[in-house]
Amino acid sequence: MSRKFVPKITTFYSPAFLRDYPTVDCEGPERVSVVHSHIGELATFIEPEPCSIADLRLCHSEAILASVQRSKDTFEVARLSAGAAIQAAELCFERPVFSLARPPGHHAGRNFNGGFCFFNNIALAIQKLLAEGRVASALIVDIDLHYGNGTFDIFQDEKRVAFRNISAPSRTEFLSELDRVLDDAAKFDIVGCSAGFDTYIRDWGSLLFTGDFKTIGSKVTSSNPHVFFVFEGGYYIADLGKNVYSFLQGIQEACS
């Protein structure tokens, strides 16, 4: 019996994401390098293009742009990370897509940033599709340990976008909350997932096991025909690669 062909997950990645731009120690280049080294057999890597300044203005004030531009390295990599998310969203109408990029973005709001984030990658991706009329509605699901305050800030008055942040005190409740959050996901034109892995049992969240990320990847992918994923947190380097590998396995499983 022949094995069923399962396509690899299109993954936006650039060696530029390994640049050691000014940030905190825990958000170092190894977060991306260890994932990249683990997921090769599941991923087809594509080099992203940086987003434009006009793209950044869709979600951020001139003051935020100016503050990030003070560091040339940071500005260049942050634009590339945002560009990767935008391109992932654009491509997800054909198949699920993962953006393996840094810096992360969900703590960057319209007039503020922080939490290792400079520009809000997932918000920029969704906002661009809305501005171009390519979607009329969007759901953003944030599975990171920390609340996506920047994403909420950008979309709090936008009726076309639903932002749902998973927060639960136990593993069982986390997975149940995810089911509830995804219950009506099919009604949206697109689903974007802020994919954080710091809920892991050995990471700051002390909540989920490696296999749970496979379950989450499968559930989100199955919820809507047009889904993309943007890398956010995850700081236990020893197991981060295998956790993202498990996540991509779940995406593949839902596609098969």
pLDDT confidence bin for 256, thresholds 50/70/90: confident
Task: Name, in order, each residue with C-beta under 8 angstroms of 43's C-beta and a sequence gap of 6 or more.
Answer: 8, 9, 10, 11, 13, 98, 100, 248
Q: What is the mean pLDDT of residues 157-165?
A: 98
Please give the C-alpha separations between residue 204 and each of 67, 101, 247, in angstroms, as whole numbers: 29, 20, 18
Residue extents of the structural domains in the chain: 9-255
Q: Does residue 107 have an active-site annotation?
A: yes
Which residue in the list 36, 60, 107, 146 is annotated as catalytic? 107
pLDDT at 1 over 70: no
CATH no. of 9-255? 3.40.800.20
pLDDT value at residue 2 = 46
pLDDT in tens, 141-152: 999 999 999 999
pLDDT value at residue 7 = 84
Q: What is the mean pLDDT of residues 158-170?
A: 97
Strand, helix or coil for residue 141: strand
pLDDT in tens, 206-240: 999 999 999 999 999 999 999 999 999 999 999 99
- Which token pair is 30? 């190894």
- Give the percent of the chain with pLDDT over 90: 97
pTM of the model: 0.96
- Give the percent of the chain with pLDDT over 70: 98
- Which token pair is 168? 């639960």
Q: What is the mean pLDDT of residues 75-92?
A: 98
pLDDT confidence bin for 5, thresholds 50/70/90: low
Q: Listing from the earlier edge strand, what are the strands of the sheet with 191-195?
A: 43-46, 9-12, 97-99, 227-231, 191-195, 138-142, 161-165
pLDDT value at residue 116 = 96
